[in-house]
Each structure stands twice: as structure tokens, then as C-alpha cells.
Structure 1
Amino acid sequence: MSDTRLDRIDATTRNAPRLGGFSWTFFGIELKRLFKNYSVIIFTVVFPIAMLVLVGLPLKSRSISDVSVADGGMSAAVPIMISMAVYAALVGSTMTGVTVAAERGQGWSRQLRLTPLNPAVYILIKVATGMVLAAIAVVVTLVAGALLGITAPLGNVLLAGFVAWLTSMSMTSLGLAVGYAFPAQNAIRYMGPLLPVLSFMGGLFVPLYLMPDLLQVAAKFTPLWGIADLAQSAVIGVAPDPWAIPNLVVWFVIFTGLAVMFFRRDTARV
């Protein structure tokens, strides 16, 4: 007597899913899971605005050039506003990636490994989800800056905001790598202090020209230096450092590769 269950399945006729298993339905599910995590959203939005009020607002009347703010010079608070927008995007992107540590504990990642979903596609879906939260964080921070009276040419602000949003994708990959490398509690514990340290080294919290020469050189090899340089150059209206884009690309490739590697390792046994 034949097994009817086996008769229903003909493995020779099964085709690999298109686009590695990507679907808009799955992407929508990931977005819903993200917006249910209120702690991540609040920390992503509230902290950068608080920093903008505490650090940027007192410098609103100080110019970054010889031309006073009253005569049309750019306020020193503008680069700080963009730095906080960058940081908001980075926190949103990174914490989106780190949430996979909790998913691992629930067995969700191993369940996905039983499906035809390509690991690289899953990583990219997580990156895209982080980009959605990063976009919200950037818009809210820039709107808060405008409400506080921190203004700059609209074209510069829009370009800098776009750069802050686009470049944040590399940090989603970092969050994914950490999320797959460590258990949930340890992932958050390690990522919490790591991001502020990287932000400081990259020139988001303190302008690099105020740092010692050795730190200025070392900063160019850190993951956030390229992101900070591109966004800050855009809002000021000057050309970025020629090594900023290579820095961004190299670290994105490194973080994405680590995320895929740790994902495969974590789900090697199903």
C-alpha cells in the first residue's frame, strides 16, 4: 500500500522560489513586529531629540563661520542636528537588527531555516525594516530641529537627511551580526555601549577637529566615520572626504557578511 502523503509530493517538480523567497507579505509581517516593540521606537525617537535640546539648542546663536547667524551664517546647532538625525537612524537600524536575538530564543530563525528563504534575503528584509524605522527617526529629528528654530538651507537639510537615512543600512547589518552572535540579553548589553562609543569615534558627538591628531586618523577606520562625514558635509554644503564612501561600503560588506555567517551558524541544526 502506497503512502498517500508521499504520493502528493513530487520533489522533481518543485522549483526554487523567486528572489530567494522574498515576499511583500513577509516584509509586512516584519514591519508589524517592529512597530509592536515600543521600547525600541521610543528610544530611537526620544533620546536624539533630548540630546538636540541639551547640546544643540544652546549653540543655536553661534555661527560655524565668520558670518554671524543673524547675518546669514550657519548655526553651530545645524551640524549637531544632523548628527542627532544620523544617530537616531543608526539606533533604529541597529536595534532592529539586535531584535533577532529574541527571535532566536523563540525558535523563529530555525523555523525560517526550514523554509526556502535564502539567508541573504532574510538579512536584506531585516535591513529594509530597519530602514523604515530609520526614516521615521530622521524625519522626526529634523522636524524637532525646525520647531526649535535650528534652520539651514532646505536643500542641504533634505540632502543630509537622505544621506543619514540611506547610510544607516550598514548598522542594521551590524545589529543582525550581534543579534545572531550572542543571546538576547548579551546582545543588548554589548550593543548598548558599543554604539555610543562608535558614534564618538566617528565624530557624531564631538567634532573630529577637536580631537587629538591620533584619534582623527584612527576615526577614519571606524564604521561611523564615513556616515558622519557624508551627512555633515551635505548639510554644510561642502564636498565629503574622498574616503568616506569607501569606508561606508567596506563596513557594510563586512557587517552583512558577518550577519549571514552567524545566521547560517545559528540555524545549522534544525
Structure 2
Amino acid sequence: MSVAIDTTTRNAPRWGGFSGRFLGIELKRTFRNSSVIIFTLIFPIVMLFLVALPNKNFSTSSTPVAQGGISAAVPIMISMAVYGAMMASTMTGVSVASERAQGWSRQLRLTPLNPVVYILVKVFCGLVLGAIAVIVTLIIGAAIGIKAPIGNLIGAGLLAWITSISMTSLGLAIGYAFPAQNAMRYLGPILPILSFLGGLFFPLYLLPQAVQDAAKFTPVWGIANLAQSAIVGAAPDVWAVPNLLAWFAIFTGLAILMFRRDTKRV
């Protein structure tokens, strides 16, 4: 004999179903992903030793490093911190692809958890891992003798961390758009290419002017310009913030569109 359930007496959970336990589960899942740890923590550190350290004694200006000039390794250090934070945010977002394949996303849809809360928890996990990537990279950089004014260092580190949130939206869009076996395959070349075009791996001022102008329309350029300017104590390009906000809106819109398309299948 079946018993009817009176749904009028049931109340929706507070905070859209958010709980500290669910957040803890997601954080554990994030830190158990070895590929995420390798690319967000180990890769930037390796690049510090391979690229930044050999340039430690070269100055970015006519003032020698020994006389107070800023080392050429300093912009490289913050660029690696930015890359680590972006990788953390992007890979945290794209992890939804494997969760969809394993049935975890479908299981969550059977709970009172609000989809917006689910996405916000993903963003928070990306920020946590991104903060660790930035802090570890800057600490290792200081340990090997790459020094910058503490105010510049803190400001650039915060910018590297906060601005990387836009890449979580990119990861979510890719994670909801493609199957698990293809999502990482597409992400693999996308982020390095965008980083190169944005000036993280190579100084844009060494490239032709047409390339420098075109770079201002790429997603990573605004993030890189803000952090690199802050670390050397210079004013960022006037188009850096509009670039960041525009691409954040584009990636977020794509993530929402792909999410809605995915939920229609259930």
C-alpha cells in the first residue's frame, strides 16, 4: 500500500542546500586529483627554477638589481603564480565533466541542492586551490632570492588570485559542453595557448605591435597585465579591467548556457 506524500508541508533547505559537509566533500575531491596538484603547484615551481632563476640578476630597467632595480625574474615569478591560479580555477571547473560521467551530477540533481550553490561551491574550491598555488609560488620565489617590495608582492598576489575566478567559468563551460574524455583533451592546449597570447610565457613588448594590439582581445591578457603591473609598481593598461570583465561575462554566459543544455537531458 503506497502512502501519498504531502509536499505542501515540506520546506526548502536553507541556503539552497549548502552545507559545510558538502563543501568539505568537494574540497577533498579537489585535493585528491593528482593532475590538478601537478599543474597548479609543481609546474609553476619548476618554471621558477628553469626560467626565473637564471634571470634573477638581470634588471628590467637601467638600474642594476644590486642598486635597487627590479629583477627580470620578478614578472616571471608573478606570471607563474597567475598561471597556477588559473590552472586551479579552470581544472576545478572542468572537473564537472568527469562528475557527469560518473553520475555524481545526476545524483546531486535528485537532492534539494540548488544548481547555483553547486557552481558557487566549485568556484570556492577553485579559489582555495588558486590561493595555495599563488602563495606557494611566491614563497618559493622569495626563497631562491627573487625579491620585490612587499606591498607590490601582496597586491600582485591578490590580483593573481582574484582575477583567476573568470577561468573557473571557462572550465565549467568546457566541463558541461564535452564528455569527460574530451574535456581535458580540449583544455590541455587551450590554457597554454591563451597564456602565451596573454603575455604570461613571453614578454609582449618583444613582439610586433600588431601582435601586441591583438593580445588585448585575448582572455588572459587582462589578468596578466594587472598582476604584472602590480608586481613592478606600474599602472596597468586602461583596457585591462574591461578585458577581464568582458571575458568573465562571456565565460559565465557560456557556462550557464552549457549547464542548461546539460540539465535538459535529465
Q: Which moved more, 1:191-200 or 1:16-25?
A: 16-25
What is residue 29 of structure 1 aligned with on the other side? 25
CA distance in 1, matches of 2:161, 2:104: 28
For the pair 1:80 / 2:89, whether they are aligned, the reply is: no
CA distance in 2, matches of 1:40, 1:87: 12
What is residue 190 of structure 1 aligned with on the other side? 186
CA distance in 2, matches of 1:246, 1:117: 33
Q: State the 1:38 CA deviation.
A: 1.9
Within-5 A mapping of 1:66-77? 66-77=62-73
Counterpart AA for 1:98: V
Counterpart AA for 1:262: M
Counterpart AA for 1:73: G
After superposition, the C-alpha distances for 1:170-194 in whole angstroms (9 at most, x for unaligned) are: 1111111111111112111110010
Identify the match of residue 144 of structure 1 among 140, 151, 159. 140
Identify the match of residue 102 of structure 2 among 103, 106, 109. 106
What is residue 3 of structure 1 aligned with on the other side? 2
For the pair 1:269 / 2:265, whether they are aligned, the reply is: yes
> Is the contact made by 1:119 and 1:264 (CA closer than 8 Å) also made in structure 2?
no
Counterpart AA for 1:233: S
**SS, match of residue 241 in structure 1:** coil
After superposition, the C-alpha distances for 1:199-246 in whole angstroms (9 at most, x for unaligned) are: 011110111111111111111111111100110111111111122112
> Is the contact made by 1:93 and 1:168 (CA closer than 8 Å) also made in structure 2?
yes
Identity %: 70
Instruction: Count how many residue pairs are aligned between Structure 1 and Structure 2.
Output: 266
Q: State the 1:111 CA deviation.
A: 1.8
What is residue 55 of structure 1 aligned with on the other side? 51
Q: State the 1:52 CA deviation.
A: 1.4
Q: State the 1:25 CA deviation.
A: 2.1
CA distance in 1, matches of 2:215, 2:20: 39
* Unpaired stretches in structure 1, ≥5 consecutive residues: none
Counterpart AA for 2:167: M
Distance 1:257 1:19, change over 3 A: farther
What is residue 238 of structure 2 aligned with on the other side? 242
TM-score by length of 1: 0.94
What is residue 205 of structure 2 aligned with on the other side? 209
TM-score by length of 2: 0.95
CA distance in 1, matches of 2:211, 2:244: 19
